[in-house]
């Protein structure tokens, strides 16, 4: 089966733009049509004519989509592949009561997560939102092109890693809905601590289990991922000795917290450097003599 998708390779660095810290973005007008079409279908329109119109309106949101596959990985690229269902993992939708449409609420520190994981994984985002909406949302949290490929699929349930040309042994997909696939990990991060715990898991997964990720994913099936991983996490980090023969149980959490803060600070430092370089480049270009 060919994946119904529009695949856009993100640039390494996007154009310089002001960084907005707000964690919400609204779509009251841009995709009223798509939202209205989805609402009609969901409410079960009474006539076939109305149902057909609703389907056509929804399709407008995917105008320009084409049937493609992910490009084959370059031979020198040895990174494992991380697929992320962005709705529910990086952000979530909630109804907008100020107008027809909806609001996207972003999980805190998802930009930190993407930044660190881009050094370890080939990141592919998956979204069933209309491409223009998903692109605007991803631009908000991925200004520097940490996501290598953006895929916009009509129905994420129809997407299969097995058909993506990626090695199943070194591929993992983050999902917010249950799935029986051996490569799918159910995660529903709801706060900063969850996002940073997910980052820690994926960093450790890359460093510890390189042969077949599915064996690790299997241990988290039918479990609350964050509760299960926090138990595992306590065994990964060493404890400090409070006295000669006694260990301090609180020291593990201290080390985990320090690691989280260090990762956040590393991202902030890198972000400041990148944006300064972008400003310098833009300033230099603006002062170049006209040909």
- pLDDT of residue 33 exceeding 50: no
Could you tell me if 67 and 2 are in contact, meaning their C-beta atoms sit under 8 angstroms apart?
A: yes
Instruction: Give me the chain's average pLDDT, please.
Output: 77
Q: Model-level pTM?
A: 0.75
Element (H, E) at 105: strand 102-106
The whole-angstrom separation of Cα 284 and Cα 272 is 18
pLDDT at 75: 81
| Alpha helices (H) along 148-249 | 192-208, 214-218, 225-236
pLDDT value, residue 48 = 54
Mean pLDDT over residues 61-66, rounded? 43
Given this model, what pLDDT does residue 7 score? 45
Higher pLDDT, 111 or 290: 111
In 3-state terms, what secondary structure has residue 112?
helix
Residue 253 has a pLDDT of 83
Q: Distance between CA atoms of 225 and 144, rounded to whole angstroms? A: 29
Report the pLDDT value the prediction gives residue 208, as an integer from 0 to 100: 80
Tens digit of pLDDT for each residue in 270-284?
999 999 998 888 878
Higher pLDDT, 161 or 32: 161
Which of 14-28, 96-110, 143-157, 180-194: highest mean pLDDT?
A: 180-194
pLDDT value for 165: 87
Which of 119, 91, 108, 148 has its CA nearest to residue 264? 108
| Per-residue pLDDT, 43 | 41
Distance CA 206, CA 117 (A): 10
Contact by Cβ (8 Å): 149, 7: yes
The pLDDT > 70 percentage for the chain reads 69
Task: Tell me the pairing of strands 91-95 and 102-106.
Answer: antiparallel
Of residues 220 and 42, more confidence is placed in: 220
Average pLDDT (8-32) is 38
E strands in 128-190: 149-153, 171-175, 184-186
Asked if 181 and 159 touch (Cβ cutoff 8 Å), the reply is: no
pLDDT surpassing 50 at residue 100? yes
Residue 107, token pair as written in the block? 């999980």
Check residue 23 and give its pLDDT: 47
CATH architecture of 4-277: 3-Layer(aba) Sandwich (3.40)
pLDDT digits 0-9 by tens, 221-251: 999 999 999 999 988 876 654 544 555 656 7
Burial of 201 (0-12, 13-18, 19+ CB in 10 A): buried
pLDDT above 90 for 268? yes
For the cut 70, the answer to whether the pLDDT of residue 36 exceeds it is no
pLDDT of 20 reads 28
Which pLDDT value is given to residue 125? 95
Do the Cβ atoms of 148 and 9 come closer than 8 Å? yes
Checking if the pLDDT of 18 tops 80, the result is no
Do you know the residue count of the chain? 291
**In the structure, what pLDDT confidence band is assigned to residue 84 with cuts at 50, 70 and 90?**
very high
């Amino acid at each position: 089966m060919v994946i119904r998708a529009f695949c856009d390779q993100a640039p390494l660095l996007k154009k310089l733009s002001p960084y907005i810290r707000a964690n919400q973005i609204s779509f009251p007008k841009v995709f009223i049509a798509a939202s209205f079409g989805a609402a009609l279908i969901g409410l079960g329109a009474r006539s076939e004519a109305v149902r057909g119109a609703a389907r056509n309106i929804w399709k407008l949101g995917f105008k320009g989509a084409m049937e493609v596959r992910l490009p084959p990985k370059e031979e020198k690229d040895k990174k494992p592949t991380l697929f992320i269902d962005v709705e529910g993992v990086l952000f979530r939708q909630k109804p907008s009561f100020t107008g027809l449409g909806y609001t996207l609420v972003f999980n805190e520190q998802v930009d930190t997560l993407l930044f660190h994981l881009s050094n370890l994984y080939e990141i592919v985002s998956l979204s069933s939102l209309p491409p223009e909406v998903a692109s605007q949302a991803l631009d908000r949290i991925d200004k520097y092109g940490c996501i290598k490929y953006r895929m916009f699929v009509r129905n994420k349930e129809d997407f299969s890693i097995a058909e993506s040309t990626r090695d199943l042994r070194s591929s993992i997909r983050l999902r917010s809905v249950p799935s029986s696939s051996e490569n799918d990990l159910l995660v529903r991060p709801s706060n900063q601590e969850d996002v940073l715990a997910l980052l820690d898991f994926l960093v450790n997964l890359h460093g510890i289990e390189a042969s077949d990720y599915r064996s690790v994913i299997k241990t988290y099936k039918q479990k609350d991922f964050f509760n299960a991983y926090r138990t595992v996490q306590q065994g990964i980090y060493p404890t400090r000795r409070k006295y000669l023969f006694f260990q301090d149980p609180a020291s593990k959490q201290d080390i985990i917290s320090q690691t989280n803060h260090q990762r956040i600070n590393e991202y902030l430092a890198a972000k400041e450097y990148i944006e300064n370089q972008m400003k310098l480049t833009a300033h230099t270009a603006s002062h170049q003599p006209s040909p």
